[in-house]
Amino acid sequence: MRTTIGMTLAVVLTIGLTGCGAGNYRRGMAAYNHADYTAAVRELQPGAERGHAGAQFTLGVMYENGQGVERNASQAVEWYRQAAEQGEPAAQNNLGVAYYHGIGVKANPVAAAKWYQSAAEQHFAPAEYNLGMTYLLGRGVEQNDAEAAKWFTRSAEQGHANAQYALASMVHEGRGVQRDDHRAAELLRDAAEQGHAVAQANLGVMYLKGRGVKANDKQAIHWLKRAAEQGHATAQSNLGLLLLAGRDTKTNDAEAARWLKAAAGQGVAEARYALSWMLTRGQSVSRNPQQAFKWCRLAAEQNLPNAQHQLGMMFALGRGVDADPITADMWFTLAAEAGYSASIAQRDLIEQRMTDDQIDEARRRAAHWRQTHPASPQQIAEVEVPLDD
């Protein structure tokens, strides 16, 4: 998941009409809101050049997005700077974003934090969130969980979905604030109801696990489905696994297979293993040993112990692939070392029919695998705590 700083580069706020160029500004904004960007530039330019902060900010947005003008990040930054120096919070926030990411200007996290601070002190919710992120990550400021939680709280209270999710993550972990799963669930709901996919996915898991809320499969499926429909891979996997387990009597295994295929295509190891299981048995999908092998291998290569065990069985029995006792032994060894106890018996059984040289080769391959694939297995149905936008 990404840890990003929220941006308002494509958002034009309603800014006061006082000062020079008010008439031009009104006409310019009317044109902008009707997507007549050429007219908007024509009307806004004079006011911006005379110092109208709203016109300067809007021109910055237009240069940022290439609306009515050729896209030019450096020019956008210049207009943001002029508006920011007049105290316009949206421009201050966008200037901070530019410095943070190095968009149209050399990256400078300290300058970014300064501009976020200026806008946040004016209660501008996106800047409060962004300032919270700088404290959480310790970029441009000294890392401080308590400060991060403070600014996330201020932004969340204004309904900023990213801040609500970020604060929920901190509350769930007890970072900078007292751990409180009930409050975390409430914050996740606030963000989820605004369509925040990661919050929806996590709220579904909270209902599934009974963390901060009473366990409720119906609510878990509801929120997981909303996130899954937005393409959230882990939600798709969790939803498919729930449906496959029969936790929703209104759906069938074909629906489970649909979501598992979607998650497997996005790289979720458990979904890949579950899909392999369905293809092996022909459960709501056409039986296909070769495809079952393909998905099981991909899951095993992500260090999923049960997939490693099953892949060992496929190599041992020649299901979907030519039989290969050495490779089977390697996968049984890896699964056993990861705590999958059934693999110990299978490894012992297959080694009864192998030579010492073959066993040594299997061990060598397993050792090489451990050295070249150190990643942990992908976990399913667990609350995701990293921040996302």
- Give 246-305 pLDDT, tens digit per residue: 888 777 789 999 999 999 999 999 999 999 999 999 988 999 999 999 999 999 999 999
Question: What pLDDT sits at residue 342?
Answer: 95
In this structure, the answer to whether residues 191 and 56 fall within a common structural domain is no
pLDDT score for 379: 43
Closest CA to 261 of 281, 249, 277: 277
Which domain does 181 fall in, by range?
159-228
Question: Taking phi first (over 0 means left), then psi (-120 to 50 degrees means alpha), and beta for anything else, what does residue 103 get?
Answer: beta
Looking at residue 363, what is its pLDDT? 97
Are 205 and 238 in contact by the 8 Å Cβ rule? The answer is yes
Q: Are residues 118 and 215 in the same domain?
A: no
Residue 169 lies in a domain: yes
Token readout for 161 is 């979905």
Same domain, 138 and 216: no
Residues 304 and 223 in one domain: no
Mapped to the 3 state alphabet, what secondary structure does 244-290 carry? HCCCCCCCCHHHHHHHHHHHHHCCCHHHHHHHHHHHHHCCCCCCCHH
Which pLDDT score is estimated for 284? 86
Residue 78 CB partners (closer than 8 Å, separation 6+):
60
Q: What is the pLDDT of residue 251?
A: 72
Is there a single domain that holds both residue 39 and residue 134? yes
> Is 91 among the domain residues?
yes
Q: Are residues 77 and 165 in the same domain?
A: no
Give yes or no for a contact between 184 and 212, defined as CB atoms under 8 angstroms apart.
yes
> Do 130 and 32 share a structural domain?
yes
Domain-located, residue 282: no
| 339 conformational bin, left if phi > 0, alpha if psi -120 to 50, beta if neither | left
**Has residue 171 been placed in a domain?**
yes
Residue 115 inside a domain? The answer is yes
52-86 pLDDT, tens digit per residue, is: 999 999 999 999 999 999 999 999 999 999 999 99
Residue 80 placed within a domain: yes
Residue 46 sits in the same domain as residue 126: yes
- The upper half-sphere exposure of residue 31, i.e. CA atoms within 13 Å in the direction of its Cβ, equals 22
**Coil vs helix vs strand at 307:** helix
Closest by CA to 94, choosing from 190, 211, 13, 34, is: 13
Residue 297 CA to residue 273 CA, distance in Å, equals: 8
The domain boundary, picked from 207, 228, 249, lies at: 228
Residues 6+ apart with CB under 8 A from 308: 300, 331, 332, 334, 335, 338, 340, 343
> Are residues 176 and 118 part of one domain?
no
Q: What is the rounded CA–CA span in Å between residue 105 and residue 226?
A: 38
- Give the helix ranges, DSSP H, for the chain: 22-33, 37-49, 53-65, 73-84, 89-101, 109-120, 125-137, 145-157, 161-173, 181-192, 197-209, 217-229, 233-244, 253-265, 269-281, 289-300, 305-317, 325-337, 342-351, 356-372
Which of 255, 237, 235 has its CA nearest to residue 246? 255
Q: Specify the number of domains making up the chain.
A: 3
119 and 81 co-located in one domain: yes
Q: Where a domain ends, among 201, 228, 255? A: 228
| 123 in a structural domain | yes
Give me the residues of the chain with pLDDT under 70, please: 1-21, 375-389
Q: Does 197 lie in the same domain as 108?
A: no
CATH classification of the domain holding 106: 1.25.40.10
Shared domain for 2 and 33, answered yes or no, is yes
**How many whole angstroms separate alpha carbon 271 and alpha carbon 251?**
18
Task: Give φ, ψ of 365 to 5 degrees.
Answer: -65, -40
Inside any domain, residue 93: yes
Residue 177 makes CB contacts below 8 A (sequence gap 6+) with: 145, 146, 149, 167, 170, 171
